[in-house]
């Protein structure tokens, strides 16, 4: 035989080859691979009944998946315990997706490498998971699952608002309090992005229990967390808040005590509130003139009207402090003048005594 | 013979007065250290000292302890100055008199070399008088303001409105600083560093002064004791 294949066989071979090639290429596109799953999970009413009677929706929005950060990976990449799919579906009791399957250092699939899941190990949420709290959040609780997005795809305003809502899923009462606070109103009503949302004070993956000394809102360190904005003229003076409030607190008795680790001394939140911080002119504010004595009374039970009669956060170097400024300047000059006269006296006395000694 | 009598020591201060002086400077130094460590809490000095003093609370207690010793001393000193013969006499010597104002001008002229006449001081010279009254005034201010500051910790803070408490607080810290600088520059120069005194004038321990020094620095007193011209 001179020819191995005749023309007919050759054409069939080429056609088969092209078909196979197309299948291979197209099969590697996630949308095509996911097609099989979407036969069932693309139906909006697909759901399952849990053992406790609750219903879990199993619908996956294909287009949401396509726009998510994971648009380039397939269902199997995360749901790797599903190996066999029959006409009846797949095995029950699918495991929860473990994000750390890809998200670890030097992973071969090119998933972003970050410290964050290691930070999370130390967090209060991981602690709760370890304690078996069924409500404790995992990655998906905050980041979403099929709708997961890169943080950078959102504007900072959208992102900040979304963060409060994300935390609010579980911490609903705090979310409502926060929303009516000066910070909450600024972001929700005035679209000001300088204000802190949950993560700005509490941290993200590092979040600790408030009574953990390492927490960013621990009694003796929370002042520096507030100070990260309130000590910055650039940030707060735009909104008519003096940046010296931070320094004046630091040099006050409360501030000094806190810096020496005194947990009972007042920090920012003791007087201003935590999630319920309101501007001074708000009658519900803890530092409204009508409420301030009560606020002092939280720690100083004998506080009466005299206790709060006067300025707080006094800066002796600012003319606005009135008598304090003038007394402090007077003393400064008194000290300078006295010491100058004294220095003159000592020098004259010294010169005279040395001369006298030499004459002897 | 002449030389011998020059080195003769004359007792100026009795033991009660010397002990008062020792208690005074020990309490003042301790009050200054414990007070200034709070003023400079933010520096290495403050942090180190507050650590030594047993933390912030220990510092406060130590400061209060010495404050009460100082108050006790002041009470004793007032009684001593009023009711004992010796004390009463000392006060009459240390009081400012008309001649002192002339002496101020004279000592300036003398120090500048404009006059050859040396001011003729009595038992206390001008510097000593100023220093004594500065300490009296300073202690008075510090004790009054200090007690007002303590009101808050005794639970009777409501007597004083916050603004007055703040002013009191300010005066207490600035006055403390002023006393520290004046006393430590002036008095240390006078009794330790000044030529003829270095390294230390021993009168605070022995209560004695040499006859020649008395004649030199306190000619009026010399005349009173020995009569006749120096």
DSSP letters of A26-55?
Answer: HHHSHHHHHHHHHHHHTSTT-EEE-TTS-E
The answer to whether B181 contacts chain A (CB < 8 Å) is yes
Average pLDDT over residues A330-352: 92
Find residues 260-299 of chain A whose CB sits inside 8 Å of chain B: 260, 262
Q: Which two tokens stand for residue A59?
A: 């619908």
Co-location of A286 and A220 in the same domain: yes
Calculated CA dihedral for residues A31, A35, A36, A39, nearest 10 degrees = 150
Nearest to B194 among A257, A260, A349 (CB): A349
* Chain B positions in Cβ-Cβ contact with residue A354 (cut-off 8 Å): 195
Q: Which two tokens stand for residue A255?
A: 């501030």
Highest-confidence segment of A88-92, A153-157, A223-227, B114-118: A223-227
Co-location of A195 and A124 in the same domain: no
User: What percentage of chain B reaches a pLDDT higher than 90?
Assistant: 51
Find residues 112-171 of chain B whose CB sits inside 8 Å of chain A: 112, 155-167, 170-171
Kindly report the backbone phi and psi dihedral angles of residue B208, in degrees, each rounded to the nearest multiple of 5, phi listed first: -110, 155
Whether A235 has a pLDDT exceeding 60, the answer reads yes
CB contact under 8 A, B178 and A335: yes
DSSP-based three-state secondary structure for A47: strand
CB contact under 8 A, A357 and B196: yes
DSSP-based three-state secondary structure for A153: helix
Nearest to B111 among A259, A342, A352 (CB): A352
Co-location of A129 and A164 in the same domain: no
Exposed/middle/buried for residue A292 (C-beta within 10 Å: 0-12, 13-18, 19+): buried
Among B50, B126, B134, B174, most A C-beta atoms within 10 A, so best to mutate, is: B174
Confidence at A259, pLDDT banded by 50, 70, 90: very high
Among B38, B41, B46, B172, most A C-beta atoms within 10 A, so best to mutate, is: B41
Sign of the Cα pseudo-torsion (B176, B177, B183, B188, in order):
positive
User: Domain residues of chain B, as ranges?
Assistant: 16-110+122-192
CB contact under 8 A, B182 and A257: no
Before B199, cis peptide (omega within 30)? yes
Q: Which of A164, A186, A207 is at the close of a domain?
A: A207
Give the mean pLDDT of chain B: 88
For residues A205 and A119, is the Cβ–Cβ distance under 8 A?
yes
Co-location of A227 and A191 in the same domain: no
Q: How many CB pairs under 8 A join A and B?
A: 96
Residue linked to tokens 């005749």: A6
Domain of A105, in residue numbers? 96-141
CA atoms of B68 and B75, how far apart (whole Å): 10
Confidence at A173, pLDDT banded by 50, 70, 90: very high
Confidence at B1, pLDDT banded by 50, 70, 90: very low
Co-location of A197 and A249 in the same domain: no
Calculated CA dihedral for residues A273, A278, A281, A284, nearest 10 degrees = -70
DSSP-assigned beta bridge partners for residue A55: A49
Degrees to nearest 5, angle at CA B5 with A359 and B11: 100
Q: Assign a CATH topology to domain B16-110+122-192.
A: Fumarate Reductase Cytochrome B subunit (1.20.950)
Co-location of A212 and A289 in the same domain: yes
Q: How many domains does chain A have?
A: 5
A26 CB-near residues (< 8 Å, 6+ apart): A32
**Residues across chain B:** 230
The answer to whether B174 contacts chain A (CB < 8 Å) is yes
The model's pLDDT over B42-100, given as tens digits with 9 standing for 90+, comes to 999 999 999 999 999 999 999 999 999 999 999 999 999 999 999 999 999 999 998 88
CB contact under 8 A, A310 and B165: yes
CA atoms of B201 and B191, how far apart (whole Å): 5
């Amino acid at each position: 035989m001179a020819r191995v294949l005749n023309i007919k066989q050759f054409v069939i071979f080429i056609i088969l080859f092209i078909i196979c090639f197309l299948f291979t290429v197209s099969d590697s596109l996630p949308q095509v691979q996911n097609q099989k799953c979407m036969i069932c999970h693309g139906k909006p009413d697909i759901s399952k009944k849990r053992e406790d009677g609750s219903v879990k929706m199993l619908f996956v929005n294909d287009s949401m998946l396509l726009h998510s950060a994971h648009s380039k990976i397939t269902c199997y990449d995360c749901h790797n315990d599903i190996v066999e799919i029959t006409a009846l579906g797949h095995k029950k009791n699918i495991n929860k997706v473990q994000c750390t399957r890809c998200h670890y250092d030097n992973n071969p699939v090119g998933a972003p490498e970050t410290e964050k899941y290691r930070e999370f190990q130390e967090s209060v949420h991981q602690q709760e998971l370890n304690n078996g709290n069924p409500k404790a959040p995992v990655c998906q609780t905050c980041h979403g699952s099929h709708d997961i997005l890169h943080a950078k795809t959102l504007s900072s305003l959208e992102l900040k608002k979304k963060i409060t809502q994300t935390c609010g899923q579980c911490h609903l009462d705090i979310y409502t309090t926060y929303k009516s606070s000066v910070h909450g109103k600024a972001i929700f009503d005035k679209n000001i992005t300088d204000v802190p949302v949950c993560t700005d004070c509490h941290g993200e993956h590092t979040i600790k229990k408030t009574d953990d000394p390492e927490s960013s809102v621990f009694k003796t360190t929370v002042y520096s967390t507030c100070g990260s904005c309130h000590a910055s003229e650039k940030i707060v003076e735009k909104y008519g808040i003096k940046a010296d409030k931070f320094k004046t607190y630091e040099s006050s008795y409360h501030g000094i005590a806190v810096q020496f680790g005194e947990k009972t001394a007042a920090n920012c939140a003791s007087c201003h509130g935590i999630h319920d911080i309101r501007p001074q002119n708000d009658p519900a504010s803890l530092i409204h003139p009508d409420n301030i004595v009560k606020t002092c009374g939280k720690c100083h039970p004998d506080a009466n009207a005299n206790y709060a009669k006067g300025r707080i956060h006094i800066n002796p170097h600012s003319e606005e402090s009135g008598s304090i400024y003038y007394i402090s300047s007077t003393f400064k000059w008194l000290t300078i003048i006295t010491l100058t006269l004294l220095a003159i006296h000592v020098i004259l006395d010294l010169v005279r005594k040395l001369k006298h000694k030499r004459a002897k | 013979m002449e030389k011998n009598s020059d080195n003769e020591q004359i007792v100026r201060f009795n033991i009660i007065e010397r002990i008062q002086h020792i208690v005074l400077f020990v309490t003042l130094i301790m009050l200054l250290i414990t007070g200034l460590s709070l003023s400079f809490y933010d520096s290495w000095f403050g942090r180190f000292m507050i650590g030594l003093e047993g933390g912030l609370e220990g510092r406060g207690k130590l400061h209060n302890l010495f404050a009460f010793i100082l108050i006790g001393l002041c009470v004793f000193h007032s009684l001593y100055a009023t009711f004992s013969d010796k004390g009463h006499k000392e006060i009459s010597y240390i009081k400012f008199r008309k001649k002192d104002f002339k002496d101020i001008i004279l000592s300036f002229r003398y120090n500048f070399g404009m006059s050859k006449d040396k001011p003729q001081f009595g038992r206390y010279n001008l510097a000593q008088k100023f220093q004594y009254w500065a300490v009296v005034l300073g202690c008075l201010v510090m004790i009054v303001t200090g007690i007002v500051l303590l009101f808050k910790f005794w639970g009777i803070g409501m007597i004083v409105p916050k603004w007055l408490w703040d002013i009191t607080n300010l005066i207490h810290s600035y006055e403390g600083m002023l006393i520290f600088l004046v006393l430590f520059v002036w008095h240390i120069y006078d009794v330790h560093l000044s030529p003829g005194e270095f390294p230390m004038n021993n009168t605070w321990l022995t209560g004695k002064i040499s006859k020649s020094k008395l004649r030199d620095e306190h000619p009026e007193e010399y005349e009173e004791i020995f009569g006749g011209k120096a």
